[in-house]
Structures are given as C-alpha cells and as structure tokens.
Chains A and B, each alone.
Chain A
Amino acid sequence: MTGWWLLVAVKVVIVAAGVMTAAAYLVLLERKLAAWVQDRIGPNRVGIPLTRIRLFGLGQPLADGLKFIFKEEFTPGHVDRWLYWVAPVAILTVSLAAFAVIPFGSVLPSSVGVEGEHPIQLVVAPGIHVGLLFVFAMGSIAVYGVILGGWASNNKYSFLGALRSSAQLIAYELPLGLGILGVVATAGTLDLQRIITTQAETGCWFVFTQPLGFVVLVIAAFAEAARLPFDLPECEQELVGGYHTEYAGMKLLLFLVSEFLHMITGAFLIVILFLGGWHFWGLTGSAEEVGWFRAILRVVVLLAKVFAVILFFQVVRWSWPRFRFDQLMSFCWRVLLPLGMVNLAAVAVFWEVFVSESWLPGGRLGAAIGGWLVLIVSGYLLGRARPVIADNRPAATLMPHDIDWQVP
C-alpha cells in the first residue's frame, strides 16, 4: 500500500512539475517564434543569474515567474472578493486535473514494478475507463473560472470577455465531441491508453482513416484553447485584456498558465486520438510488455509529436488574423457541426462496409480512401456554399440588403 501511494505521488509530482515547466518554456518558445515571424530578435538577455552568460535567453521563464510572484497582489475595491479569488484557483485546478488521465508514455518494464511484478502504467490514474470523458468534463468546468473571473471583476470589458468565452466554449464543444466520436466508435473505448494501443496494433493512425474528423477536432481544439484565430475572449484590441483585465500578479499568472495548459491538453488529445500516441512504425512496436529502451523511446516519440503539434499551434497564432464574433459562431454552427456529423456518418458506414463486416474488399485502405474522398468532397461543397460571412466593410457603406444578408 505504501508503495502504491509512493508511486502515485511520484507520478503526480512528475506530471505537475513537468507540465508547469513545459508551460514556462513554451512561453519562451512562443515569444521567440513571434520574434522570428515579426523579424525581431526576441528575449535573449536573461541567462544564468549573477553572471554575464546570456545562454540564448533561457533564463527568461525564471525571471518572468519571479516577476509574477513578487508583483503586488492588488485587488481592486469594486470586485466580488470571494469569486475574484476562487476563479483563478478553480481554472488552474481543473486544467491540471485533466492531466490525471492523459498518458505520457506506455508502460515501464515490470522489473521496477513496486507492487509485485506489474509494469508501471505511465499515467497518473490508470484504469479509468472514461478518461476521454474526464478530459471533457474538466474542460467544461474550466469555463467556470473564466465566467467567474469576468463577472467578479465587475468590469464591462472583463464581463464581455467572459460572455464571449462561454458562448464560444459551449458552441465548440459540439464539433469537438463529434470529431472525437468517430475515433471512439472505431476504437470501441473511451480509455486513452487503449485508443493508442488500437492504433499501434493495426499500425493505422486514425488520421489516415478519418481525415475529416481530424480537421474538425484540430479546429475545435484551437477554439477550446482560445488560441489566436479564436481568441475573442481576450482580444487585446477590443477588450483590453478580456476576462482577466482586473487581475495582477500571481492570480494573473494562474490564468495565463491554465490557458497554456489547455493548449497542451489539446495537443495531447490530438496526438493520442489521431496521430497514434506513442506509436511510430518500426520504432516502438506494439507489445504490452517492453524493455527499457522501447519504453523510453515511446515516451520520446509521444512527447516529440506533442511538441510538433504545439509548434503548429504557435505558428498558426502568428499567421492568422482573428475571426469576428459572428463569423466565429456561424463557422461553428454552419461549417464544423455539419462536417462533424458527415464525418461520423461516413466513418460508421465505411467502417462497417470495409473493416468490421468487410462486404467490400480493401479493409482499412478502403476506409482510408473513403475518408479522404469525403474530406475532399465536403470541402469542395463548403467552398461552393460559402457559409462564413467574410464581408468586412464598415456598416455605414453597406446597403440594407447587405446588412440583411449579414445577420445570421
């Protein structure tokens, strides 16, 4: 029993500390990337403290953290004190809690098993059969942090940010769920480890058989993490700082960190559900029991994939302009939702026809070809239908029929 507690404690510490450190250094990466995109140099001064060694600015996250911690904790007089305090704590708690069910590797060999000779599962809470649903639940609780923060601040800008955020998150949960449903239906489980194992055993990542679901999931994950094309809850040009305008110091840090954690969670979900998790052809194998080399290799592969997806998130942030709010909403309800349903129907049909009943020859290859055909056809049809309003002329120059057409 003591061994079990020790194991859980070690895993919790590794995941929490690892994720927080990763978040800090991803901020540095993001700033460097922003500088590269905007033809600047970026943070390059802070290196090892008390020396003159700069080390490419690698000390910057430390300096940022220290600054946040020692900044004055100013609480404005007009806020609702309880909720003002609860909001950042709640949002950070749930964003960290989501990592309880996210595997960061496969298993460690049984030679280090604490309890008897069982291999150690590389996930904080192994054996939760509804891990995917748990991540969802934590994501939907995180909305409370945003709403409470915006409301407790007692500030119009904060409140607008909170309202936008809640509308956006509730709307985009639907396409997120639809994108995931295809994978859940074909893998037959909600357990993240087993979803990876399914992909590893067949060697066929779900991105190949369900490309449309992948596209829907990635876009919805961007929206859930409120990353740039969808960062209306806190767009600086309109809302000062959005729902955390009135926050400073440590509390602001909690909000910012949990935003980053959402992005990391999203990247993990994308990799685990569609990009094969820790699996790579010819490198990692798919067996339940592995030696040390394979076990470490699986962790490295998984983290490398997650890093690549996060890099994609960040490049997109500095490449795309922001949506307008009506565009955001019509994009969700008129584009992503139908696409998600088409994907689910197509996946069900192709899976039944080619793989599980094999009425037609082709197996997974047939399902993959069908999936790509559906992606191309639905993309073409959407392009013809143009459901997203892209007219950005100021309202004064519009004719009345233009305005009628714009109201969704």
Chain B
Amino acid sequence: MSDLLVGAAVDWSAWIRSSEAVAWLLLAIGLMFALPRTYRVRQRVGWLVAAVGLGMLIGDSVLSSTARSSAAVFWGLASIAVVGAVAAVTMTSAIYCAIWFAFSLLGVAALMCFQGAEFLGIATLVVYAGAIVVTLLFVLMLSQPRGDVVYDRLSWGDFPRVASPLLAIGMVAMLTAIFPAALAQGAASSKGLPSGDSVARLGAYLFTRHLIGVELAGTLLLAALVGAVAITMFGRESVGQEEGR
C-alpha cells in the first residue's frame, strides 16, 4: 500500500486552485454549519451548502470521466453513503441518526458489490444490519424521543465542531486526490487475478495465510461469550443471597 502511495505524485499547488478543492471546501463548511446546535435555520443552510459541494464533486467527476455510465453508478452509490453519513452526524433525533447510519452502510455495501467484492458487501450488510438493530434498540430504550432534550441536540464543544469537519474533509479530499493514480497502479498489478467464485478463494486465504488471526479472534469471542454468561450467573447468585437475607 505504502509503495503505491509513494508512486503517486500529485501537483498540490494546482490542485488547491482547482474546482475540486472548492467543492471539498464547500462540503466542509456545509458540514460545519449542519452539525446540530440550537438554531435549526443554520443547519438547513449547512445542508444546502454541503449538497452544492457534493453536487460539484459528482458533476466534475462524472463529466470528466471516460466511462460515464459506470462513473455515474459509482457516484450515485457513493452519494448514498456520504449523504447517509452526513445525516447520521447532523440529525438531532437519535433514532434518525441510527437509521441514516444504516442507510449509509447500504450505500457502502452497494459500492463493494459494484467493485466486485460481493461477499464483503453482503457480509457487511448482514453484520452491520444486526448490529445497528441492537444499537437502535438501545437508542429506543435509553434516549428521549425526537431529540427534545438539549444534550441530545447539541454537538459537543465549539472547537471540535469547527475543527472536526475541516480535518475529516481535508483528509478525505487528499486521499481522493491521491488515489486515482494509486488505483491505476493497483489495477495494473492485479490484472492476473482469476475471476469466479470469490467466496471459496477468500475462505482458503483466510484459513491458510491468516489462520492464527482467525483462531485468535474466535477464541477472544468465545472468552467474551463465557464472560457474559459468568457475569449473569454471578449476578443472579448475589441477588438470590440478598433476597435470602
């Protein structure tokens, strides 16, 4: 991976003046305003600005691409993921956050399938769908409905609210600028891979090259399971003793 990135040189001084950089900046500013605080009006402005930025990015990439239809599909799926992620951090109601997170993962899984990683995409869906359902249940049982309380509605602190969108968007923007060249190299080196049933090959790879890692993870999960059972059993014992006294 690292040698791929070294090989990819980007002319940063030209990049900073391109329309792409402006789009990323708009996205960051929009996200900054969209993060929840007491005034909802500003949040709408933030969503609008972020949408304009995202639209610029998508338009730029689709129009400049040689394979327009596949670029359009990619950016359609990617914007599902991005819109879901932005909405997940900006919504004021906890349940909407969880739902948008699930929506974002749907986009990510679709992207993986689109790139040919069927198993990875659908496994993401299976694993995360169940996990988010559990999160959702905790949200439903523990939080206030509709974000009616202040601590659910405000994002934390003034400095992080400004710094985190800028930092995150900056990082993603730089990676996006670097990756096309790196990906071209990667694609060139992975030409010889056989196509076909990827699941069997993935399984063979996991259980030969990474056997110890898989076994370790399994042991860890087993330990967690036994620990959970032990905690509930000891907990009930102590309750019984208290009642006995």
A contact residues vs B (CB 8 Å cutoff): 80, 83, 86, 128-130, 133-134, 136-137, 140-141, 143-144, 147-148, 151, 159, 163, 166, 170, 173, 188-191, 404, 407
The chain A residue with its CB closest to the CB of B132 is A144
Binary A-proximity of B124-142 (CB < 8 A = 1, otherwise 0): 0110011001101100100
Q: Which residue of A lies closest to B125 (CB)?
A: A137
Is B179 close to A, CB under 8 A? no
Give the 4 A-B residue pairs with the shortest CB-CB distance, closest first: A137-B125, A140-B129, A133-B122, A137-B126
Interface pairs (17), CB distance under 8 Å: A86-B99, A129-B198, A129-B199, A130-B199, A133-B119, A133-B122, A133-B123, A134-B122, A137-B109, A140-B133, A143-B129, A144-B129, A147-B140, A148-B99, A163-B137, A189-B197, A404-B240
Q: List 9 extra interface pairs beyond A129-B197, A141-B129, A166-B136, CB under 8 A.
A: A134-B122, A137-B109, A137-B126, A140-B129, A144-B102, A148-B99, A151-B140, A189-B197, A190-B199
User: Counting chain A CB atoms within 10 Å of each CB, which of B119, B133, B140 scores highest?
Assistant: B133
Contact of A136 among B102, B126, B140, B200 (CB under 8 A): B126
Asked whether A143 lies within 8 Å of B126 as measured between CB atoms, the reply is no
Q: Tell me the complex Cα distance, A321–B4, Å.
A: 63
Q: Compute the total of residue contacts between A and B using a CB distance below 8 Å.
A: 66
B122 near A137 (CB under 8 angstroms)? Answer: yes
A130, B122: Cβ atoms closer than 8 Å: yes
Chain B proximity of A141: nearest CB distance (Å): 5
Interface, chain B (partner A; CB < 8 A):
95, 99, 102, 109, 118-119, 122-123, 125-126, 129-130, 133-134, 136-137, 140, 146, 197-200, 236, 240
Q: How far is the CA of A407 from the CA of B232 in the complex (A)?
A: 12
Interchain CA distance A141-B110 in the complex, whole Å:
14
Are A143's CB and B118's CB within 8 A?
A: no
A173→B130 contact, CB < 8 A: yes
Hey, which chain A residues are within 8 Å of B199, CB to CB?
Answer: 129-130, 189-190
Closest to A177 in B: B126
Contact indicator B129/A137 (Cβ below 8 Å):
yes
Closest to A141 in B: B129
Q: Which residues of B contact A151 (CB under 8 A)?
A: 95, 140
Partner of B197 from the list A134, A140, A148, A191 (CB cut-off 8 Å) is: A191
